[in-house]
Amino acid sequence: MNNKITIILADDHPIVRNGLRKEIEEDRRLEVIAEANNGQEAIEAIKANTPNVTVLDVDMPVMNGFDVARWIRKEGIATEVVFLTMHKDENLFNEAIDLGAKGFVLKDSALKDIVECIKTVAASENYVSNALTTFLMNRSKRAIGLIEKEPTINDLTKAERRILSLIADDLTTNEIAEKLFISPRTVEKHRSNISQKLDLHGTHSLVKFAYNNKSELL
Domain residue limits, the chain? 5-146, 153-217
Q: Is 165 helix (H, G, I), strand (E, B) or coil?
A: helix
- Mean residue pLDDT of the chain comes to 88
| Digit-coded pLDDT (tens) for 154-194 | 778 889 989 999 999 989 999 999 999 999 999 989 988 88
The arithmetic mean of pLDDT across residues 55-61, rounded, is 95
pLDDT at 147: 46
120 has a pLDDT exceeding 80: yes
Calculate ∠ Cα 154-155-159, nearest 5°: 85
pLDDT at 140: 64
| Digit-coded pLDDT (tens) for 70-118 | 999 999 999 999 999 998 888 888 888 888 899 999 999 999 999 999 9
Cβ atoms of 56 and 68 closer than 8 Å: yes
Q: Is 38 helix (H, G, I), strand (E, B) or coil?
A: coil
pLDDT at 146: 47
Q: Which residues contact 75 (CB under 8 A, 6 or more apart)?
A: none
CA 149 – CA 128 distance, rounded (Å) = 28
| Digit-coded pLDDT (tens) for 143-153 | 555 444 566 78
5-146 and 153-217: identical CATH topology? no
Cβ atoms of 152 and 164 closer than 8 Å: no
Q: Does domain 153-217 have CATH number 3.40.50.720?
A: no
5-146 adopts what CATH topology? Rossmann fold (3.40.50)
